[in-house]
Amino acid sequence: MEFTSTLPAPHANADRSKALLSNAVYGHKSKATLKERLFAMWFRQLVYTQIWEDPVVDMKALNLDANDHVVTIASGGCNALSYLLANPAKVTAVDLNHAHVSLVRLKMAGLRALSNYDEFFNFFGIANASSNVRLYKSVIAPQLDTDSRHYWEGGPIGFRRIRMYAKGFYNYGLLGQLIGIIHWGAKLHGVNLKELIQQPTQKDQEIWFDQKVAKIFDSKLMAKICSSPFALYNLGIPPSQHHALCDQQPENMAQVLKERARKLATVAPIKDNYFAWQAFSRRYDPTEQSALPPYLMRSNYAQLKANIGKLSVEQSNIRDAIASMPLQSVDAVVLLDAQDWMSNEEITALWTEITRAAKPGARVIFRTAGTLSPVDACFTGPLQGKWARDDARSEALGPQDRSGIYGAFHLYRLQA
């Protein structure tokens, strides 16, 4: 089913995305490289249909309670919603990209407007039925803010973006498109990546990967493709992160990605790993078992619906968002891998604002493409001695991250 939007075409949010992303990628430089400009342009679109950091690990690290205010980068919104299951006082999600902000707001409106769990799961979990467009028009759209309606009811000529939910939402976004290309390339090597979800044990997953998938990364063609940062923009990897991943040696990238892909495929039993389901099967487990983000689980639906009023979302740079918050008003900050994009000056400015807004006992978590934390070198002057990495918890929790795509997990605590 198709429908014609009566809303005028907007430009303000897309223009704001352009300015925010350009500043995030190369705003600290007097002159940006061509790679940086192309990445900033590429990243203005819908990139992530789901977030690729494990919210279960996040909540173990943050140990949230009923008084906590969490500030997080929104991305696909899966984790911001899942944090509500820890019953914090407030979750504030921010993102540079208006597509991601619109996605989180759509999920929030769906949770409020849809009548039961089955409708909610069919829309956002299966996300592949023409009835979803009718539900959007009749039930969700009236609950949605005008800016987000502009996004979902706009799109290329002849295709409204909300139609993604009729045609398989998780096949879209830059990352979803890249995963599709990877599946096509695997078939050229005689490999069906969807076979992973059929493996009966974790050991079988390891054997299957080593026998079927490893050879793809060992090919000369894959080595050539992976050595180019342009080929990895769909993964959301900026030029600076590309260098961190391959330790300044682009020829190593295929082997780095093979190691990360193997971890994703084998770090947990497939029945428990929704990240592996998305990468290898391009969908979630439709039987509603444990291979789902927490916010999509039936057992969590009532609690999530009751807590949705605690979540707010805004389009902003996270440093600017925190700078606008009162003194000692934030208990936890989730930075994803954003600092891999940043210069030392930008990291210092970000942590200066976090320190001002942090309550006693505040926690900050983030991931990095490489193994080293980028922040310790920035803790000088007024920041010296303010924060310390919890090495024991960081090293214990990092290997539990079911997405398996990062080099390290970092938990920092504000010192008394």
Checking if the pLDDT of 227 tops 90, the result is no
Token reading at 410: 């970092």
C-alpha to C-alpha distances, 302 to 38, 164, 171, 328, nearest whole angstrom: 43, 26, 28, 31
Which pLDDT does position 15 carry in this prediction? 59
Shortest CA distance to 144 belongs to which of 170, 118, 107, 172? 107
Neighbours of 73 (CB within 10 A): 23
pLDDT attached to residue 232: 62
How much is the average pLDDT of 189-217? 96
Across 74-88, 125-139, 156-170, 208-222, least confident range: 208-222
Tell me what pLDDT residue 243 has. 60
Task: Say whether pLDDT at 30 is over 60.
Answer: no
Predicted confidence at residue 359, as pLDDT, reads: 98
Tokens of 142: 């009236």
pLDDT of 3? 54
Choice between 30 and 43, residue whose per-residue pLDDT is larger? 43
Going by C-alpha positions, the residue among 375, 359, 379 that lies closest to residue 367 is 375
Distances (CA, A) of 283 to 90, 168, 226: 30, 9, 25
Averaged pLDDT score across all residues of the chain: 88
pLDDT of 248 over the 50 cut:
no
- Which pLDDT belongs to residue 1? 44
Evaluated on CA atoms 401, 52, 58, 361, the torsion sign reads positive
Confidence label for 272 from pLDDT (cuts 50, 70 and 90): very high
Q: Rounded to an integer, what is the distance from CA 257 to the centroid of its chain?
A: 18
Query: What is the SS3 assignment for 93?
Result: strand
Residue 70 β-bridge partners:
91, 332
Identify residue 55 by its one-letter amino acid code: P
Q: Is the pLDDT of residue 277 over 90?
A: yes
Give, in degrees to the nearest 5, the angle at Cα 55 between 49 and 59.
Answer: 155
**Over the range 108-138, which residues count as b (16 or more CB within 10 Å of their CB) and which as e?**
bbbbebbeebebbbbbbbbbbeeebbebbbe
Mean of the pLDDT values across residues 247-256? 66
Q: Do 91 and 311 meet the contact criterion of CB atoms below 8 Å apart?
A: yes
Q: Sheet harboring 358-368: ordered strands across?
A: 311-315, 90-95, 69-73, 330-334, 358-368, 408-414, 387-389
DSSP category for residue 89:
S
The Cα–Cα gap between 7 and 191 comes to 45
DSSP state of 138: I
Query: 110-123 pLDDT, tens per residue?
Result: 999 999 999 999 99
- Average pLDDT value for residue range 66-73: 98
Instruction: Please determine, for residue 12, whether its predicted confidence score (pLDDT) is greater than 80.
Output: no
Residue with tokens 């096949």: 171
pLDDT in tens, 327-345: 999 999 999 999 988 889 9
Average pLDDT, integer, range 74-87: 97
Mean pLDDT of 171-175: 90
What confidence tier does 4 reach under pLDDT thresholds 50, 70, 90? low
- Are 74 and 100 spatial neighbours (Cβ–Cβ below 8 Å)? yes
Query: Per residue in 283-315, is it b (16+ CB within 10 Å) or e — as a string?
Result: bbbeebeebbbbbbbeebbeebbebbebbebeb
> What is the DSSP pairing of strand 387-389 with strand 408-414?
antiparallel
The two most distant CA atoms of the chain are separated, in Å, by 60
- pTM for the model stands at 0.89
Distance of CA 217 to CAs 114, 389, 405, Å?
A: 43, 34, 15
CA–CA separation, 91 and 85 (whole Å): 11
Return the higher-pLDDT residue of 236 and 394.
Answer: 394
Bridge-based pairing of strands 90-95 and 358-368 is: unpaired
Q: Are 115 and 143 in contact (CB under 8 A)?
A: no
Helix, coil or strand: residue 211: helix
CA distance 301 to 174: 29
pLDDT at 370 over 60: yes
Three-state secondary structure of 346-413: HHHHHHHHHHHHEEEEEEEEEEECCCCCCCHHHCCHHHCCCEEECHHHHHHHHHHCCCCCCCEEEEEE
In this predicted structure, the answer to whether residue 250 has a pLDDT above a threshold of 70 is no
Distance CA 84, CA 62 (A): 13
Looking at per-residue confidence, does 226 or 13 come out higher? 226
Percent of the chain with pLDDT over 70: 83
